[in-house]
Amino acid sequence: MAGRQAVTTRDIADQLGISISTVGRALSDDPRISRETRFRVKEKAAELGYVGNLAARLIRGAPSTVVGLIVPDVRNSFYSTAAHALAQTMAQHGYQVMLSETDDHEDNELAQVKGLAAAQVAGVIIVPTPNPRAGTVRLLRTMPHVQFLRQQDKLGDHWFGVDDRQVLRQATEHLVSLGHRRIAYLGGPPGRSTSTRRLEGFTGVLGADADPELIIHTPPSSIEDARRAVGTVLSSPRRPTAIVTASVRITEGLLQELTARGMDVPREMSVVGFGDEPGFSWWGGGLTTMALPVHEVATSCAMWLLQRLRDTGNDAPYNSRAAGYLVTRGSTDVPRSGA
Amino acid sequence: MAGRQAVTTRDIADQLGISISTVGRALSDDPRISRETRFRVKEKAAELGYVGNLAARLIRGAPSTVVGLIVPDVRNSFYSTAAHALAQTMAQHGYQVMLSETDDHEDNELAQVKGLAAAQVAGVIIVPTPNPRAGTVRLLRTMPHVQFLRQQDKLGDHWFGVDDRQVLRQATEHLVSLGHRRIAYLGGPPGRSTSTRRLEGFTGVLGADADPELIIHTPPSSIEDARRAVGTVLSSPRRPTAIVTASVRITEGLLQELTARGMDVPREMSVVGFGDEPGFSWWGGGLTTMALPVHEVATSCAMWLLQRLRDTGNDAPYNSRAAGYLVTRGSTDVPRSGA
DNA sequence: CTGAAAGCGCTAACAC
DNA sequence: GTGTTAGCGCTTTCAG
């Protein structure tokens, strides 16, 4: 690399033989500065490759132009979609995005929130861990923030997500309407707000027909555990005629396992997935699945935060719960033998 | 939100009736400060929820703890993988990651680089656009940076990527070894360094057998264009017995189109994909494809940058070209009729 | 062992 | 129309 030292307003002032404040004013198009001086300053700035020092502005009390995004893992398509929507929306409005991952560990979460606070971010969008540390809660209270997808009461009442209950309700209703009664549910363990509500959506529809033995909780991001769970379900004496899943990774595990076992879908087993990833459409005869408007939700979330940053007073609770929609493809059919 | 105002060292000093510098020293474990004072200061700091102001440190010349990542679009699995590897590695070493997207547009790229420069980032990892603006080049020269995946000579000689030529060579050799001669190539337009080298890998193996009519360039991130290209290839009078692709999205488009047409793979057509996305393993009888060690490459890239930030002197050229490997599944077989 | 003071780059009040 | 000055939060001399 070459010129380590960044050029400052002082450099410009010195080279032009004028004062630093004149330079500052010229650069910010202050009307008091003569057209000519303004021109000379800007020309020199361009020539030297001047780039303002945000840190210096920040310290003077200028509003920060950075927002933080805290997610478990960007590789998860929900979160990469969110990161994209956020980066896009924020860039359009002159903001920058700081990316933090928690790996769903509360200590990482706290460390990241501290980092963002130290960096003076203007606001934060967070997918909280199941049980945030007290420090995390306290720190977040000092900065504008919104929760995305997951919801944690202690973290305040600003939330953008999908209607998890509705999503699983609709998935389950679809199977029930086809005649299924013995349906297995593969989801994340309760504790995460999303998992809890998804399970509620499922049991809400199935009522007394819900068989506790066919409700299996696995770590929602482990494909391996999901595959094992599928094995358990299939070898159950009360083997189901259909399976619904409540996480993208679990869905992927399910598809892998069913493929490996050469299961005949939908003849032997109907399947409804969660989310609509690229490969889902060509799995077998196409996977029937619940598509989620993640991009839209993330964009709304970003827009709301922007608005919130402008209007520092407004702090009214805000909740947005977007609906998912069923994409019917080839993986669901009526049960072979009446359940 | 509550306490807008962040607490400063001054607040701590005032409340304890000591000087600001003592507080600063205590917080940084300066041995000159008595054990007791140090303790009182830290306790007070914790009580008030003190978080150092990075901007203030920065302006004093402290090294920045932020690195920038510039990618076309994080939703692309290559880049989300990179973002994850980077975030993870950097967090481990006390750095933070600023995420910038270019959407492959050079003006966005310039704007993002400017933003990162203004934010005083310590370094940058960039997937450059095909033709960076002069300003981008000039600005990048002033900060430590590494190129990731794509390579652009003007941007310097630090690069981490995969051996694109080798990847397409191996893919093509696999088909040739099965007996294919009439092979179509679906890749991005030359101009991007990666596309050029991938095409070279293909033509290098096929030599005189390469049929210009069967080499089709489409925007590497457009599934739609890829699908159309597949149509073109299939209706060609010199219809190929096999197809290789040179981008993930194009591969996805190909799979969709072949599925839609009910093509019998590998009997009617052999196919080798690019990258190994989750769904590829269950497409048809499994997609034979070139897997790429993106995570490993990204991690090395991050580690190298860290090292580079420490050792400010070292600026020797560094190139790393990781090999991809063939994953043989069910989508390739010997040609039905001798080519 | 602790305090006072300077200064990083920038802006805004206050001169002239 | 332009210059001077002060001060943001922090570290780092230089004095005690």
Average pLDDT over residues A2-20: 84
Minimal Cβ distance to A87: which of B74, B120, B138: B74
* Strand C proximal to A18 Cβ, under 7 A: no
Planar angle of CA B319, B321, B323, nearest 5 degrees: 170
Reported as a single tens digit per residue, the pLDDT across B190-213 is 888 899 999 999 999 999 999 999
Evaluate if residue B319 carries a pLDDT over 70.
yes
Question: Which residue in chain B has the smallest CA separation from A81?
Answer: B75
Distance of alpha carbon A230 from alpha carbon A213, whole angstroms: 12
More confident residue, B121 or B6: B121
Q: What are phi and psi of A254, to 5 degrees?
A: -60, -50
* Strand C proximal to A10 Cβ, under 7 A: yes
Question: Which residue in chain A has the smallest CA separation from B257?
Answer: A282
* Cβ <8 Å between A52 and B281: no
Inter-helix orientation angle A223-234/A248-261, to 10°: 50
- CA of B6: nucleotide with nearest C1': D9
Residue A338 pLDDT level (bands cut at 50, 70, 90): very low
User: Per DSSP, what are the bridge partners of residue A99?
Assistant: A69, B97
Distance of alpha carbon B240 from alpha carbon A78, whole angstroms: 38
How far is residue B214 from each of residues B2, B198, B199, B200, measured CA to CA in Å? 64, 15, 12, 14
Q: Which residues does chain B have within 8 Å of residue A111's beta carbon, measured at their own beta carbons?
A: 91
The C1' atom of D2 and the CA atom of A52 lie apart, in whole Å, by 21
The C1' atom of D10 and the CA atom of A10 lie apart, in whole Å, by 21
Type of residue found at A276: D
Minimal Cβ distance to A277: which of B58, B120, B279: B279
pLDDT at A4: 56
**Total-model pTM:** 0.93
Residue B276 exposure: Cα atoms within 13 Å on the Cβ side: 18
Q: How distant is the Cα of B257 from the closest Cα of chain A, in angstroms?
A: 10
Average pLDDT over residues A218-235: 94
Reported as a single tens digit per residue, the pLDDT across B73-129 is 999 999 999 999 999 999 999 999 999 999 999 999 999 999 999 999 999 999 999
Minimal Cβ distance to A74: which of B4, B84, B256: B84
Question: Which residue in chain A has the smallest CA separation from B92?
Answer: A108
Evaluate if residue A322 carries a pLDDT over 90.
yes
How far is residue B20 from each of residues A54, B9, B10, B23, measured CA to CA in Å? 25, 6, 6, 5
Q: How distant is the Cα of B36 from the closest Cα of chain A, in angstroms?
A: 25
Reported as a single tens digit per residue, the pLDDT across B213-250 is 999 999 988 999 999 999 999 999 999 999 999 999 99
Closest listed residue to residue A53, CA positions, set B97, B58, B52: B58
- Contacts of residues A206-213 at CB distance under 8 Å and 24 or more positions apart, as own/partner, are A206/A172, A206/A176, A206/A181, A209/A181, A209/A182, A209/A183, A210/A183, A210/A185, A211/A182, A211/A238, A211/A240, A213/A238
Q: Which residues does chain B have within 8 Å of residue A280's beta carbon, measured at their own beta carbons?
A: 279
Q: Are B142 and A4 in contact (CB under 8 A)?
A: yes
* Strand C proximal to B19 Cβ, under 7 A: yes
pLDDT at A316: 80
Instruction: Name the 3-class secondary structure at A186.
Output: strand
DSSP secondary structure of A78-132: HHHHHHHHHHHHHHHTT-EEEEEE-TT-HHHHHHHHHHHHHTT-SEEEE---SS-
**Residue bearing tokens 């799995």:** A283
Residue A132 pLDDT level (bands cut at 50, 70, 90): very high
More confident residue, B220 or A246: A246
Reported as a single tens digit per residue, the pLDDT across A289-314 is 999 999 999 999 999 999 999 987 77
